[in-house]
């Protein structure tokens, strides 16, 4: 009982924005630390062997553990805690107790959210960073420099290549909290017997055209449940994108009914990177 009381007290003192900040700081700090390790490895290899196409391939393999597996391992605990707390706060905003008992759906949803967002951390290197490093290395090689000189030039450019991922971690943190809290709300609606919800955008100078267009739309909770379950059944990230695609523009949404939007996968937030929109009881 004491543990439950402590958790409840903590949840009452923390907000979703604070959870976004906690995850953002953890991801960026770990990325910077692992980047320094990768930069050290890269400089040592480049200074020793210079730069050739073969050495470029070897370099990307050598730094992969620091920027992939190890990054994911060091941030996993924080990510899992942020997911759990965001989910609980989502349910609390529906009116359920902060420490209400989880059912099987809650447990499955949280596990899926953890695995899904851990994937985007551990695979960031394979998904984008490695390609950027290879392109930059190839550009250096195309300058016609000698092996040793090319190595020195690329070693000097290498730190900037990794710094470009900073904004990605903020986006991932924001979207992790938004999706986790929305999953919590969905099961909260089910537990509370809520039938319909309204899309509630934060309207200010930062509001996107997409969220302005979605603001005020009304959905049956069954549609949210259907999308949530489809997301949890998705076998890979591409399936996730197909189940809940982000609209390219507000024009795609105009003059469409909620049923038409749902058929296209536009149901639950987030609707784009750094989306602040949420669902609320009608």
Answer whether residue 7 shows pLDDT above 60: no
Over residues 138-176, the pLDDT tens digits come to 999 999 899 999 999 999 988 888 888 889 999 999 999
Answer whether residue 137 shows pLDDT above 80: yes
Answer whether residue 57 shows pLDDT above 90: yes
Over residues 8-43, the pLDDT tens digits come to 566 667 899 999 999 999 999 999 999 999 999 999
Question: CB 184: neighbour CB atoms within 10 A?
Answer: 27
Q: Same domain for 118 and 31?
A: yes
177 in any annotated domain: no
Answer whether residue 6 shows pLDDT above 70: no
Q: Same domain for 35 and 83?
A: yes
**Rounded CA gap, 189 and 195, in Å?**
7
C-alpha Rg value of the chain to the nearest Å: 22
184 in any annotated domain: no
Answer whether residue 97 shows pLDDT above 60: yes
68 in any annotated domain: yes
Q: Same domain for 141 and 201?
A: no
Confidence of residue 100 (pLDDT cuts 50, 70, 90): low
Predicted TM-score (pTM) of this structure: 0.90
Q: What is the torsional sign of CA 89, 90, 94, 100?
A: negative
223 in any annotated domain: yes
Answer whether residue 99 shows pLDDT above 70: no
Q: Same domain for 164 and 95?
A: yes
Over residues 259-272, the pLDDT tens digits come to 999 999 999 999 99
- Which residue among 172, 204, 225 closes a domain? 172
Q: Same domain for 275 and 164?
A: no
Count structural domains, the chain.
2
8 in any annotated domain: yes
Q: Same domain for 35 and 75?
A: yes
Q: What is the torsional sign of CA 90, 96, 102, 108?
A: negative
Question: CB 206: neighbour CB atoms within 10 A?
Answer: 9
Instruction: Write out the residue range of the structural domain in which residue 112 sits.
Output: 2-172
181 in any annotated domain: no
Q: Same domain for 84 and 208?
A: no
Q: Same domain for 204 and 250?
A: yes
Answer whether residue 231 shows pLDDT above 60: yes
């Amino acid at each position: 009982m004491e543990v439950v009381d402590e958790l409840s007290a903590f949840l009452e003192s923390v907000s979703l924005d604070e959870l976004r900040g906690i995850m953002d700081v953890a991801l960026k700090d770990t990325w910077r630390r692992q980047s320094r390790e990768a930069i050290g490895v890269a400089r040592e290899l480049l200074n020793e062997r210079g730069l050739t196409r073969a050495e470029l391939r070897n370099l990307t393999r050598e730094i992969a553990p620091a920027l992939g597996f190890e990054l994911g391992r060091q941030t996993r605990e924080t990510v899992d805690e942020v997911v759990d707390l965001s989910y609980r706060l989502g349910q609390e905003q529906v009116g359920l107790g902060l420490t209400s008992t989880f059912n099987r759906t809650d447990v499955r949803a949280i596990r899926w959210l953890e695995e899904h967002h851990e994937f985007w951390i551990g695979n960031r290197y394979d998904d984008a960073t490695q390609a950027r490093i290879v392109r930059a290395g190839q550009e250096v090689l195309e300058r016609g420099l000698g092996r040793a000189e090319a190595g020195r030039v690329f070693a000097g450019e290498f730190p900037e290549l990794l710094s470009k991922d900073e904004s990605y971690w903020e986006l991932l943190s924001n979207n992790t909290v938004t999706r986790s809290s929305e999953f919590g709300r969905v099961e909260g609606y089910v537990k509370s017997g809520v039938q319909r919800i309204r899309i509630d955008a934060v309207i200010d100078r930062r509001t996107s055209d997409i969220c302005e267009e979605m603001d005020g739309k009304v959905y049956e909770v069954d549609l949210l449940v259907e999308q949530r379950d489809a997301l949890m059944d998705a076998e890979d990230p591409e399936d996730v994108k197909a189940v809940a695609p982000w609209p390219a523009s507000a024009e795609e949404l105009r003059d469409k009914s909620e049923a038409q939007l749902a058929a296209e996968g536009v149901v639950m937030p987030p609707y784009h990177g750094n989306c602040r929109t949420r669902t609320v009881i009608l």
